[in-house]
Every structure is written in C-alpha cells, then in structure tokens.
Chain A
Amino acid sequence: MSESERLRDGPNLDKEDVVLRVDGLRKAFGGLVATDDASFAVERGKITGLIGPNGAGKSTIFNLVSGFYEPDAGTVTVNGVDVTGAEPHAVAEEGLIRTFQTPRKLEGMTVREAMLVGPQRQPGESFVKLFTSPDAVAEAETANIEDAQRMLEQFEIDHLATQPATDLSGGQMKLVELARAMLAEPELLMLDEPVAGVNPTLANKLREHIARLNEEGVTLCIIEHDMEFIMNLADPIIVLDQGSVLVEGSPAAVRADDRVIDAYLGGGGE
C-alpha cells in the first residue's frame, strides 16, 4: 500500500504483468495535437483509472488504443502483441474490448439478441458453416444464449431479456453494454465514461458491478469524469493533461497533488 501511496511524475511503466502498453502515442488533428507522446501501462487484475480535464486527450487515447483512430507515432501493445494501427476488430480479437460513452442502440433486436453479438468466434458467424455444420452452430448458439442469460442475471437485468433493446433507459443500456462486453471474455475491458448521464443510484450499482468483475479477475481501464466514482473504484489513477501523462499514483496521492489541482483548475475546474 505504501508503494502505491507514492506519486510518480509521469507514468509508471515498470509494472510486472502488463496487459496494455502504450508507448509514445501521438495524434494530431490538423494543427491540434490531441495526444502528444503519451505512454502508460495497464497492469493485469487492476482497475486503472484515466482522468484529466476536458481536452486532455482521454477519448483520443481510447480511440487510438482500440483502433478507431490511427496514431501518427508510437505503439500500442496488447498482451505482448503489437496492434498499432490495426483495425478495431483486430484489436478486439487480441482481447481488448471497449464500450462507448453514449450507449449504442441495436434497432429491432431484443436485449437478449443484442447480448448475443458479444461472444467471439461464433461458428454461426460463418455463412458456410450455417449449412455445412448446422449442429455445431446450434450447439454454440444454445450455449451462448445460456451464457447471455446468466450474465444478465449477474447484472440483475434478466427480466429485460426479451424487451426491445431500444426501449431501455440510459442506465439499463449501460448495464447491457457492460454485460455484453463481458460475453466477449475480454483480457482488458476499457470503459468510456460508464456513469455519464446515469443517476446516482444506478451509478452506485454500476460501481458495485465493476468492482465485482474486477474481483472475478477482469482487468479494467476506465475513463471517467465523475471524480467521486473513479476515486472510489480505481487504483492506480493516471492523470492526463494536454495529451500526455502528468502523474500516476493512488487516488489519495493524486487527489492531494498540486499539479493535478492546477491542471483541473486551469482547464475549467471539477
């Protein structure tokens, strides 16, 4: 504990079992440098929080890591595999699953159907196998339906299974998204502002679920604006400012640091 109480200038890259390593990542949109030489590492089994004032480059880093943007420079390594500049689905295949800040709605599907998009490498996703090995497809589908149902039960939303996926409230959608991401059996789950626009009651519930997942061994990396939420959940916390890592440390240490306070006050306060 005393080790993590300390605060480091810049990132702590000296971790033992690293799932995600980002090195010297840079991305500019025209003249605006959104991410500038950002480096950090996410250790297996932990919840790593990524915070920073508006415009610090959090979402850009998320998109760079998950393959939605192509970096101008730098590397991204997931589980020792270099995925720099790879397509998002290729990054996901390496075990990095992300969620979105605004929940994505799947039109015309029930919640259960929307959940079933999660599992990776389904035999039924091959058009040919539908007709050459229908039994294997049906078996996998049955197993996936049961997994989905179990996952919905864990998240206490199994009563929604056969509801249209578009009829959910914002908070329920966040839960469904989290549950679906879990069906993909991620090595690393990256959540983009999981409690944005969610009421405090449900935010608490979400925190409990995330903590539970972490206890079950899931590694998480979370961007969040809600300080209360992230400080009670993540350790370590990485603070971004102007596109690169300012400090990294335990929540208490980060909270007490003057530079962090300066960055936030300069950027508009929190």
Chain B
Amino acid sequence: MSVAVRERFGGLTRAEQGAVGFVVLLAALLFLGLLTGGLAPTYFLYLVGLVGMYVLLSFGLNVQWGYTGLINFSVAAFFGLGAYGTALLTAGNSPLGVEGSRLLGIIPLTIIGLLVAIVLAVVVAVAIGIPTLRLRADYLAIASLGLAEVVRLVFLNQRDWTNGSAGLRGIPGFFDGWPVLETFPEAMPGLRVEALELSIPGVFSTEILGFTLGTPFWQALLNVAFVLVLVGIVFAVLRRAHRSPWGRVMRTIRSDEDLAEALGKDTYAFKMQAFVLGSVIMALAGVFYAHLNLFVSPGDLEPINTFYVWIAVILGGSGSNRGAMFGGFVVIAIREGTRFLGELLPGALPTAGIPFTDLVVSFPTVIETTYTTVVNNFASTRLLAVGLLIVLVMRFRPQGMLPPQRELIWPRSVAESAGPGETNPRETIEEEATATAHAADASAGVGDDGQTAGDATDAEPAGDDSTPDASGPDDGTADGSEDAPDEGGGRNE
C-alpha cells in the first residue's frame, strides 16, 4: 500500500506535487474550521458546491480555449442561459413556469429544465458560431463579448418572460419531484453532534464540534452529490475526448489552423463541436447554480463572472482538465477566503507605545490609510488580489500551474503499439534533456553529425513549451535531444 502510494506520488511532477499540497493544506484548514465550529457544515457544503460549479465552468472554457483556442468572452451568458433555462420552467414566480413539480405527473420538471437549458445553450452557441467560426479567432472574441451583454440585457428587460431585475425566486431543489430523493432531506434524522471540551489543565481549554445536522445539511449534501456527479461525468467525457484523435485535431487547430486544414480536417466543423460542447458544460453549471441558490437574477450574468472563469483556466493551465479543476478551486478559495481574511484582520493598524517613554510609534499616514481602506473593503480588494495573482502567474509560470504534461495519446493504444512506450511527464523530459545538454557542453561542446551545435534548442528552460517561439537555431542536433527520448521512453517499458 505505502509502496503504491509512494510510486503514485513519485511519478508526479513538482507542479503536481505543489498543487496537491496546496489543495491538501486548504482542505486541512477547512477541516480545522469544521472541527472548531468556525465553519458551519452546511456552509462548508455550499462552498464545495460552488467549487464544483466553477470547475464545470472552467471545464467548459477549457474545451473552447484550452483545447481549440476559441476565445469566448460569454461564459457568463451560457451560464445564465443554463440557470434561466431551468429557472424559467420551475421557479415559483416565473411568468413561464409550469405548475407542480412533475410534467404529466411522471417526469420531474427539473429534468425538463435541464434539457431546456442544454437546448438553449446549443441553439445560441450554433447561432453565434455560424457567422464567427469561419473567421479568425478575434472575431469570435468580439462577437462573444457582445453576446454576453445581449443575453444579460434580454433577461433584464424582457420582463414579461423573466421578471426582469427582480429575478426568479422560489426555484425548487434539483431533486424536487424525484422519487425518494425528493423527501430525502426531510426524512433524514436531525443529528446533534455534541460539543467536546479539549483542555490541557491549567494551560488552555477550548470547545470543538457542537452543531446540528438538520434538513438544510442533508439538502446541501444532496446538492454536493449532484454537482459531483456532473463534474465526474464531464471529467470522464473530457478526459476521453482530450486524449483522442478528436482532441488532437482540436490542439492542432489551436496551434495552426491552416495546417489542420491542409491535412484534411474540416476545422469549421471541429470548432463548432468544441464551441457547442463547451457551452453546454457551462449551461450545466448554470443549472446547478439555479437549484443551489434557488434564486437567479440578471446580476448573475455580470461579465466579472466570465473573467473569474478565465482566470481559473489560465491559472490552472490552459488545455489541462486537472488544471481547470485546480483553477476553479483556487478562484473560489480566493473569492470566499478573502471574506474571512477581511473579518480576521484588525480594522486599523495598531500603534505601539515604546515602554518607559511617552513616545508612540505609528506608521506613516499613507500606509495607515491604505491599510484601513484595504481591510475595510476587502471584498473589493479581492479583484486587486486576483489581478496581482494573474500578473505573477503570467510572469513566472505563463503556462499555468498544471499545464498538460503527458503525451495525449490513449495509453492503451500506445501500450499495444510497437513504438516507444508512454512518455514521462514533459517536465521531466526537459529537465533530463537540459541536464544531458549541459553534460554534452562540458565534454564536447559540439554536436555530432558534423553539424553546428544546437545546444540552445535543448537548454531552453524547462516548462517553456507553451511559448510559441521556443525554437533554437535552424539546424543541428545536440546530444541531449537524441539521448533524452531513449531514457524517457525506456523507463515505462
């Protein structure tokens, strides 16, 4: 067991270890919060739900931008279409609502709502895709920026259908009208977790636990189960698609659309598929949100939500499903974490008197006022923090925290073929290549084959493979580049 664990983690790259460490640390903090009663279990589950929602949104954008290179600035619009799609049908005060919780007394209305949301997203995605996907990437970016506003303004102003700015309230939970699951939260017994007193006599004493798990808790648990199922299904589908020839064509289009065309791939059709698939995944996140929040309004379609998702994808590593997951997690950690931080920090900088004198040390006024402004407006400063984070990521790790690092070929096919085995994570290959290149530098300094030494090609800093022009001199092969694949390929054989 422990060997298996060590092997599993030994195979991770440094970035993966870092990401795992970060997630574990935050999870531990949250767990501590749960234990000490600082974090209510129901709210904790709500946070998990939000993370799931952002992961879905990031998955959707990752299909469009990360795989295919489509710049979509209307993430919030497709999210909104999903949320409104189901809310219009099921909300208590919806002008277009349907009475009762089941259609024809059999099918739960929320299932129909889910389908309506998907259909809405497909229709709008195709409608915006037809004129723009034949053009260069920038046109889609501009059109989607407009689309986001159009969709938001339609929901805001089409009061007869959408209730306008008042929004739609009284949305049932997703499992309303389902057999068994509908009554699950009520049927579950209320659990009282008694408070425990922890104390080291004479030193300190504290109470932990001590909360009641009632209907809201079970309801939240159901929601989390729902989003986990959605995330699980979407992840499985994307994982399969990303490593398939389909995904390969998408990645080719992202790098060089002309090349894909020249090799006989109908890029328009492929881009349309990616755009529609991504939009549907975003709509799924919207459906979940509507049934989590039980209220939707045009405010949920604000452009800022689009950019949070972009940040999640870029931070996680464009083109990587795990990166999208990690990015979604981090964005929620920042968004919700800053709330706590704002409450924890003192409202003003403390001033300290120097002992035995009348002197009082205080910070310069500029720092003091800045601090006060920041702490008292932590919610707004959050945007600044997010912006800074993006600047730092772009500066020090432009490919994101968890960029795709393994060869994306279906492993079974690699194993069955006679070619070299599955390769190691790219980062490892490059580190090895760099090391070998340096070794070659020291010993010979000139590449074999009678060509000019091209060591610069291999000595590129590790992890730079996402920069478009990481090429070396025109010709020449260094020893490193020839040795590395043998080592890399041989290890797993």
Contact = CB atoms under 8 A, between A and B. Distances in A.
Given A113-B407, A116-B248, A130 B255 contact: no
B471 A167 contact: yes
B261 interface: yes
Nearest to B274: A127
A131 interface: yes
A198 B475 CA distance: 7
Interface string B432-466: 01000000000000000111101001101000011
A125 B273 contact: no
Contact of A149 (B419, B426, B449): B419
B245 A167 contact: no
B475 A169 contact: yes
B252 interface: yes
Interface string B406-440: 01111011101111100100100110010000000
A137 B245 contact: yes
A170 B475 contact: yes
A167 B412 CA distance: 26
Q: How large is the interface on A (under 10, 10 to 19, 20 to 34, 35 or more residues)?
A: 35 or more
A267 interface: no
A161 interface: yes
Contacts of A160: 481-482, 485
B364 interface: no
Contact of A110 (B255, B273, B423, B452): B423
A104 B258 contact: yes
A165 B235 CA distance: 27
Contact of B240 (A113, A131, A168, A171): A131
B190 interface: no
B263 A97 contact: yes
A43 to B, nearest CB: 23
Question: Among B249, B264, B416, B488, which residue has the most Cβ atoms of chain A within 10 A?
Answer: B264
B450 A162 contact: no
B256 A202 contact: no
Contacts of A170: 471, 474-475
Contacts of B80: none
Q: Which of B413, B429, B465, B473 has the most CB of A within 10 A?
A: B413
A34 B305 CA distance: 49
Contacts of B407: 110, 112-113, 162
Interface in B18-70: none
B468 A141 contact: no
With most chain B CB atoms within 10 A of its CB, the pick from A131, A142, A169 is A169
Contacts of A93: 264
Contact of B256 (A97, A106, A159): A106
B382 interface: no
A142 B423 CA distance: 16
Interface in A136-183: 137-138, 140-142, 144-146, 148-149, 159-164, 166-172, 180-181
A202 B429 CA distance: 26
Contact of A159 (B241, B267, B471, B486): B486
B255 A105 contact: yes
Contact of A163 (B319, B450, B484): B484
Contacts of A122: 245
B418 A146 contact: yes
B203 interface: no
A100 interface: yes
A125 B460 CA distance: 33
B265 interface: yes
A93 B263 CA distance: 8
Given A124-B245, A125-B246, A138 B410 contact: yes
Interface string B306-326: 000000000000010000000
A108 interface: yes
Interface in A79-116: 87-90, 92-93, 97-100, 104-110, 112-113, 116
A162 B488 contact: yes
Task: Give me the 7 closest cross-chain CB pairs, A-B, nearest first.
Answer: A92-B264, A124-B245, A141-B413, A88-B261, A149-B419, A145-B417, A170-B474
19 contacts: A68-B258, A89-B261, A89-B264, A100-B262, A104-B258, A106-B251, A109-B255, A113-B248, A116-B245, A125-B246, A130-B244, A146-B419, A149-B418, A160-B482, A162-B488, A163-B485, A167-B465, A169-B476, A199-B474
